Chains A and B, each alone.
Chain A
Amino acid sequence: MMMQLLAMPFMQRALLAGVLLGALLALLGIFVVLRRMAFFSDGIAHASLAGVAVGVLTDTNPLLTALGLSAILAAGMAWLERRTKIASDAIVGLIFTAGMATGVILLSFKRGYQPELVSFLFGNILAIQWSELVLMTILAVIIIIFIILKYKRLALMILNPEIAYLSGVAVTVYHTLLYITVAVAAVLGLKMLGIVLVSALLIVPVSTAKLFAASFRSLMVWSVVIAELAVLIGIIISVYLNLPTGAVIVLVGIGLFTLTLSFQKLRKS
C-alpha cells in the first residue's frame, strides 16, 4: 500500500514539496521568532489573498500573482517601518486587512466554485502541479542557501542593529531581504497549509527545538528535523485517513511540541 502510494506522481510531488517547504519554513521561522514577527508572517499570508484573487480573475497561476504581490507588500512594510513612526504591528494590521478586503471584493466578480482559491485558503499539497513544484524548488533553494550563508549576519542584525552595522552588515538590505523571504516562504507555504495555518510551520518547529537545543546551530538543525517529521508524518496520515493534509501536518507539529514539552517536564521533575 505504501509503495503503491509512493509510486503515484501526485504523492511524489507532495512529498518533495513538503520536504522543501518544511526546511524553508523551519529555517525562516527561527528569525521570525527571534525578531518576534509572527504577526507579520500571518498578516502577509492573509494579505496575499489579493494576489490570489488577481490570478483567479486574470487566469494567471495565482501562486505567481500572490508571490509578486506579497514580495512588494513586504518590501513596502520594511520601508514603512524604517521611515515612519507607525508601530510595526499597526503596519501589519493595515496591510493584512487591506489585502484581505481587496481579495474579497475582487473574488466577488468571479462566480462559482474556484478550486484554486480553495487550495490557497486551506492548502492542498496533494494537488500541486509540476510547474508549481519547479518554481517552489527554485525559490526555496535560493532562500535556503541565503540563510545558510548569511544566518550569522541575519541573527546579529535582529539581536542588535547597531552592533551589526558596526560589524559591516548592511542592516537596511538585510532587514528588507528578511521581510521579502518570509513573505515568499509564507506564500509558497499556502499551497501546503493554506492562508490560515501557514504560520504554524514557521512557529511550531522552532518553538519545539527551543525546548532542548543547546546552541543556535543545533536550533537550526533540530527545527528542520522537526518540521520534516511533521510534514512527512502529516502527509502519510492524511492520505491514509483521507483528511485535509495541511491541518494534519499542523496537528502533528503541535503533537511533537506537546510530547517534547511533556518529556522535558517529566525529566525535570
Chain B
Amino acid sequence: MSAISVKNLTVKYGSQTILNRLSFDVEKGSITAIIGPNGSGKTTLFRALLSLIPHEGTVKIFQKQAKDVLSRIGYVPQKFDFDRTLPITVNEFLSFAYGRRSLKNNQICHEVRVDALADKLIGELSGGQLQRVLIAQALIKTPDLLLLDEPSAGIDIEGAQAFYDLVRHLNTEHGVTVLLISHEINMVYGFADQILCLNRDLVCNGPPREVLTKEVMEKLYGPEIGLRGHKHL
C-alpha cells in the first residue's frame, strides 16, 4: 500500500522546469531516500508533496490531498534560520507547534534526548542539539509519515549515526514511513529500502543495490564521482 503516490508531477518557475513529470510511489512503512546534486529539485519536491507550491500532476498522501493529512506528517526542515538572540526556550518552541504540552515524561523527547534541554534557549543550542529539537517537534505529534530534509547536515558523524539509528527505530518499532533527502550516499545505501535519484527528472527509482549503478551516479554527479570504496559497486 502506498503512503505517497505521485503521478506526472511537474513544477515550473516561470519558463524554467524544476521538476519534470515525476511519477513514483513510496510504500507504507518504508524508508525512502532522495538523492541528487545541489539544485536538482529535492527540496522543491518536498514542497510540492506538501502542496506548498503550485504544481501540475497529482500527489496523494495516504490516498488523500496533503492538506487533508497534515496532522499525520512530521517535517524536519533543511534550514532553520532565526535571530538567535531572541529568547525562546525549547519547551516554548515545542509548545508553539503542538499546544501546551509538558516535556516531562514525554517518551519521544526522552528518546531523542530533548527532555534535558527543555529550559535551554534554542539560540544557544549546538547544531546537533537544535537538530534533535527539530526532530522532536516532528515526532511529538506521532506522525505516520516523516519528511526529513538533509536531517544530519551540520552534525558530527557520531550524531548522524545516532540520528539514523533513531529513524530506523521509529520505522521498525512504530511503523513510521520515512522520506528523507540526503547527501550521504554511503549512509543511505545501507539504510534505505528505496532510492529516488533526482536531477530535474527521476533518474532512478528502486532498491539501492539495484539502482545505484555507476551510470546512474555519473548521470547525477558527473563522471568523477562514484560510491568510493563501497564494496557493492
| Residues in A lying within 8 Å of B, measured CB to CB | 33-34, 36, 152-153, 155-156, 158-160, 162-168, 210, 213-219
Residues on A with beta carbons closer than 8 Å to the beta carbon of B52 = 162, 165
Question: Bound state CA distance, A159 and B94, in angstroms?
Answer: 12
Q: How far is the CB of B92 from chain A (nearest CB, A)?
A: 5
Q: How far is the CB of A26 from chain B (nearest CB, A)?
A: 14
Contact (A163, B86) CB under 8 Å given A156-B97, A168-B70, A168-B71: no
| B93/A210 in contact, CB under 8 A | no
- Main secondary structure on A side of the interface with B: helix
Residues on B with beta carbons closer than 8 Å to the beta carbon of A159 = 80, 82, 88, 93, 96
Which of B70, B96, B121 is A166 in contact with, Cβ under 8 Å? B70
Question: Bound state CA distance, A250 and B71, in angstroms?
Answer: 45
Pairs across A and B, CB under 8 Å, 6 listed = A34-B86, A152-B96, A160-B77, A163-B97, A164-B97, A165-B50
| A216/B70 in contact, CB under 8 A | no
| B96/A210 in contact, CB under 8 A | no
Q: How far is the CB of B51 from chain A (nearest CB, A)?
A: 9
Which of B71, B73, B87 is A214 in contact with, Cβ under 8 Å? B87
Of chain A, the residue at the smallest CB distance from B95 is: A152
Contact (A160, B50) CB under 8 Å given A166-B70, A168-B70: no
| A215/B50 in contact, CB under 8 A | no
Known: A159-B82, A219-B87. 17 other contacts (CB 8 A): A36-B83, A158-B82, A159-B80, A159-B93, A160-B80, A162-B77, A163-B77, A163-B97, A165-B52, A166-B74, A166-B75, A167-B98, A210-B85, A210-B86, A215-B121, A216-B88, A219-B86
Of chain A, the residue at the smallest CB distance from B97 is: A167
Residues on A with beta carbons closer than 8 Å to the beta carbon of B83 = 33-34, 36
| B32 on interface, CB distance cutoff 8 Å | no
Interface residues of B in 54-103 (CB under 8 A from A): 70-71, 73-75, 77, 80, 82-83, 85-89, 92-93, 95-99
Encoded as 1 (CB less than 8 Å from any A CB) or 0, chain B from 103 to 114 comes to: 000000000000
Residues on B with beta carbons closer than 8 Å to the beta carbon of A217 = 92
Of chain B, the residue at the smallest CB distance from A212 is: B87
Residues on A with beta carbons closer than 8 Å to the beta carbon of B70 = 165-168
| B50/A34 in contact, CB under 8 A | no
Question: Bound state CA distance, A69 and B171, in angstroms?
Answer: 53
Of chain B, the residue at the smallest CB distance from A158 is: B82
Residues on B with beta carbons closer than 8 Å to the beta carbon of A218 = 87
Q: How far is the CB of B44 from chain A (nearest CB, A)?
A: 13
Residues on B with beta carbons closer than 8 Å to the beta carbon of A155 = 88, 96
| B152 on interface, CB distance cutoff 8 Å | no
Number of A-B contacts (CB under 8 A): 68
| B137 on interface, CB distance cutoff 8 Å | yes
Q: How far is the CB of B18 from chain A (nearest CB, A)?
A: 14
Q: How far is the CB of A166 from chain B (nearest CB, A)?
A: 5
Of chain B, the residue at the smallest CB distance from A215 is: B89
Question: Bound state CA distance, A219 and B121, in angstroms?
Answer: 12
Residues on B with beta carbons closer than 8 Å to the beta carbon of A214 = 87, 89, 121
Q: How far is the CB of A28 from chain B (nearest CB, A)?
A: 15
Q: How far is the CB of B189 from chain A (nearest CB, A)?
A: 28
Question: Bound state CA distance, A218 and B119, in angstroms?
Answer: 13
| A163/B137 in contact, CB under 8 A | yes
Question: Bound state CA distance, A217 and B50, in angstroms?
Answer: 31
Of chain B, the residue at the smallest CB distance from A206 is: B86
Q: How far is the CB of A203 from chain B (nearest CB, A)?
A: 13
Which of A36, A153, A165, A215 is B88 in contact with, Cβ under 8 Å? A215
Encoded as 1 (CB less than 8 Å from any A CB) or 0, chain B from 125 to 142 comes to: 000000000000100010
| Best-buried of A164, A167, A213, A218 by chain B (most CB within 10 Å) | A167
Q: How far is the CB of B70 from chain A (nearest CB, A)?
A: 5
| B50/A162 in contact, CB under 8 A | yes
Residues on A with beta carbons closer than 8 Å to the beta carbon of B89 = 214-216
Q: How far is the CB of B156 from chain A (nearest CB, A)?
A: 23
Q: How far is the CB of A219 from chain B (nearest CB, A)?
A: 5
Q: What 6 pairs across the A-B complex have the smallest Cβ distances? A: A156-B96, A152-B96, A213-B87, A216-B88, A167-B97, A216-B92
Residues on B with beta carbons closer than 8 Å to the beta carbon of A164 = 97
Question: Bound state CA distance, A252 and B52, in angstroms?
Answer: 45
Encoded as 1 (CB less than 8 Å from any A CB) or 0, chain B from 184 to 225 comes to: 000000000000000000000000000000000000000000
Q: How far is the CB of A39 from chain B (nearest CB, A)?
A: 15
